[in-house]
Amino acid sequence: MAITTDFLVIGSGVAGLTFALEAAEHGEVVIITKRSRDESNTKYAQGGIAAVFAPDDSFEAHVADTLEAGAGLCHDVVVEICAREGPERVRELIARGAQFDHDNGRVSLGREGGHSARRIVHAADATGMEIERALLEQARKSPNIRFAEHHTAIDLIMLSRFGGPDVCAGAYVLDETGAALDPGAPRPPAPRDPERPATRHRPASRPHIVETYLARATVLATGGAGKVYLYTTNPDVATGDGVAMAYRAGAEIANMEFYQFHPTCLFHPEAKSFLVSEALRGEGAILRLPDGTAFMASHDPRKDLAPRDIVARAIDFEMKRTGSDYVLLDITHRPASFVREHFPTIHAQCLRYGIDITSQPIPVVPAAHYMCGGITTDLYGRTTIPGLWAIGECTCTGLHGANRLASNSLLEGLVFGHRAAARLSAQIGDLRKSPFPAVPEWQVGNAVASDEEVVVAHNWDELRRTMWNYVGIVRSDARLRRAARRIALLQEEIRDYYWKHLVTRDLLELRNIATVAELIVGCASARHESRGLHSTIDYPETSDRYGSDTVVKRGVLPYLRGR
């Protein structure tokens, strides 16, 4: 028995929750989330939301800053939409209970690299956590929103349509809880090997349950794919699931070569994926070599407030030049009370590792941070597959171009979550006129429980190291060819393992991240220039010939689409 709903949302970050809250006023919403409902990239966003509130700021300035950061690949109409609709979306967040910092009764505005004015709405240095808290609190109160936590989407359900393109009707979903959202749903017998040891994510005694979710509209809001790289600021959930599923289903994907590396991730042997916000540099923090020399002036006239791609490449260059494992981010010249008040999360986290940022510079390194490419959509979140919508970091809307401007990510999630909900809510009456289709249940076939899940761990580690070593901040044709060969071999191993064994979350995430890696390498190999986040020693200049999006679909090699 399938579980049915009006709107199936896969992902519970700012984009997915914004969509769900607005769509729930017009129909039933089910939100699928791999871990707990609050675990998403949004939760870990420190900086804030870029929006025009200051009297000396303007929409035109926000647009200009975004276009400059995007290095010629932003879609002008999308940038204009996000800049102009952003303030209203922030006001709606405040109305939903989000508590941002204020100064003399007005929203306090920070400044980050690439911005010409103060326009970053923030909640100290834990903005994402506050947004997630407020939206989840509202979702908890909605009678039309149901969460399926610890559920992992496997693949989209695609139906053939005579004389037209295939249609998305929902998704097959792995239930790791052992208790379905719909108590009446049948349970297949649980394969169990008493000799099999418990694994990190799926104990041997847990039943293998794959549920069928049917929806009148399926919305991918799965976030990024930072775990494709060895070092990342992203949480473990960021495995590119939405992009990989959409690609397998035949959707158009674009600009995967543009993966943003955040310049400043805490460098410490015991720290994992801790981001040191760009807002520190916005408040005067200076990047220095280990000997104390400030170096950004030799790389860009904007010094430490240059856009992220420039700063990340500068740090990478200086680390390689000097042989250092890290550089230093120094805000010790600001009053200690100011630092503690404005950056309480960073201050507390660094103290855990013996670093008092009020008196000591912070050792930092670049790390994979944000996926600027993804599933192509129109101005309302529609993908190239009927019935499938996508919002947030898993998309390529055209806002970010070749490099995302700081704090435009939460903005994009808010704006497109709202726009998708508004458009779909207006269509739900017509969509309900058609009955839910009859689709086959998930077929296990001859798959058995694995007794060597170490293969998954080994492939995962090799894949991430390959991407870090060969497809990082600076690339070359030779490095990309090496990566392509290794990823092709890993893909073959993963496919063989996938079809022989029962799916687990670890296996599904490995399968998805391998697909994302393949797409990144393919798109990077097709762009013979350096632009934004794609920097290659073989083509160091920017070329007008490549001033368009890199597009790829299943069965079609990446190509540059004319604008």
Classify burial at 161, counting beta carbons within 10 Å of its beta carbon; exposed 0-12, middle 13-18, buried 19 or more.
Answer: exposed
**Residue 190: is its pLDDT beyond 70?**
no
pLDDT, tens digit, 9 for 90 and up, residues 1-49 = 899 999 999 999 999 999 999 999 999 999 999 999 999 999 999 889 9
Q: In whole angstroms, what separates CA 548 from the centre of its chain?
A: 22
For residue 560, the cross-strand partners are 550
Predicted confidence at residue 47, as pLDDT, reads 85
Is the sign of the CA dihedral 53, 56, 57, 59 positive or negative?
positive
The better pLDDT of the pair 195, 470 is held by 470
Phi-psi region of 170 (alpha: psi -120 to 50; beta: other; left: phi over 0): left
Is the sign of the CA dihedral 492, 273, 401, 537 positive or negative?
negative
Q: 288 an active-site residue?
A: no
Reduced to 3 states (helix: H, G, I; strand: E, B; else coil), residue 209 is: strand
Reduced to 3 states (helix: H, G, I; strand: E, B; else coil), residue 470 is: helix
Predicted confidence at residue 269, as pLDDT, reads 87
**Residue 201: is its pLDDT beyond 90?**
no
For residue 30, the cross-strand partners are 8, 146
| Residues whose CB falls within 8 Å of the CB of residue 203, separated by 6 or more in sequence, listed in order | none
Predicted confidence at residue 453, as pLDDT, reads 83
Percentage, residues of the chain above pLDDT 90: 85
**Residue 534: is its pLDDT beyond 50?**
yes
In contact, 259 and 400? CB cutoff 8 Å? no
**Residue 397 has which token pair?**
């809307």
Comparing CA positions, the residue from 287, 227, 284 lying closest to residue 263 is 287
**Residue 483: is its pLDDT beyond 50?**
yes
- What value does the mean pLDDT take over residues 492-508? 94
CA–CA separation, 234 and 277 (whole Å): 13
pLDDT, tens digit, 9 for 90 and up, residues 108-119 = 999 988 999 999
pLDDT band at 207 (very low <50, low <70, confident <90, very high): low
- What value does the mean pLDDT take over residues 229-249? 95
For residue 254, the cross-strand partners are 374, 551
Owner of token pair 């109305």:
95
- What value does the mean pLDDT take over residues 531-547? 96
pLDDT, tens digit, 9 for 90 and up, residues 255-301 = 999 999 999 999 998 887 888 988 899 999 999 999 999 999 999 99
Predicted confidence at residue 206, as pLDDT, reads 52
Predicted confidence at residue 186, as pLDDT, reads 38
Predicted confidence at residue 1, as pLDDT, reads 85
Amino acid type, 198: A
- What value does the mean pLDDT take over residues 186-191? 35
In contact, 33 and 136? CB cutoff 8 Å? no
**Residue 84 has which token pair?**
């102009």
Lowest-confidence range among 58-67, 68-77, 151-160, 443-452?
A: 443-452
- What value does the mean pLDDT take over residues 147-161? 96
**Residue 188: is its pLDDT beyond 80?**
no
Predicted confidence at residue 125, as pLDDT, reads 87
**Helix 454-470 crosses helix 477-500 at what angle (to 10 degrees)?**
160
CA–CA separation, 524 and 541 (whole Å): 15
**Cβ neighbour number for residue 260 with a 10 Å cutoff:** 27
> Per the residue annotation, which of 308, 464, 505, 511 is the catalytic one?
308
pLDDT, tens digit, 9 for 90 and up, residues 294-347 = 999 999 999 999 988 899 999 999 998 999 999 999 999 999 999 999 999 999
Q: Domains of the chain (ranges plus CATH)?
A: 265-366 (3.90.700.10), 454-555 (1.20.58.100)
pLDDT, tens digit, 9 for 90 and up, residues 360-402 = 999 999 999 999 999 999 999 999 999 999 999 999 999 999 9
**Residue 462 has which token pair?**
């090799």
Name the helix (H) or strand (E) containing 430: helix 408-431
pLDDT band at 194 (very low <50, low <70, confident <90, very high): very low
- What value does the mean pLDDT take over residues 204-222? 86
Predicted confidence at residue 378, as pLDDT, reads 98
**Residue 320 has which token pair?**
């390689």
CA angle 85, 224, 43 (to 5 degrees): 70
CA–CA separation, 13 and 15 (whole Å): 6
CA–CA separation, 50 and 410 (whole Å): 8
**Residue 93 has which token pair?**
């967040």
Lowest-confidence range among 86-90, 270-274, 428-432, 446-450?
A: 270-274
DSSP string, 332-372: TTS-HHHHHHH-HHHHHHHHHTT--TTTSPEEEEEEEEEE-
**Residue 202: is its pLDDT beyond 60?**
no
Average pLDDT, the chain: 92
Owner of token pair 């998954």:
456
**Cβ neighbour number for residue 465 with a 10 Å cutoff:** 13
CA–CA separation, 243 and 223 (whole Å): 9
pLDDT band at 517 (very low <50, low <70, confident <90, very high): very high
CA–CA separation, 136 and 96 (whole Å): 10
In contact, 517 and 244? CB cutoff 8 Å? no
Predicted confidence at residue 195, as pLDDT, reads 31
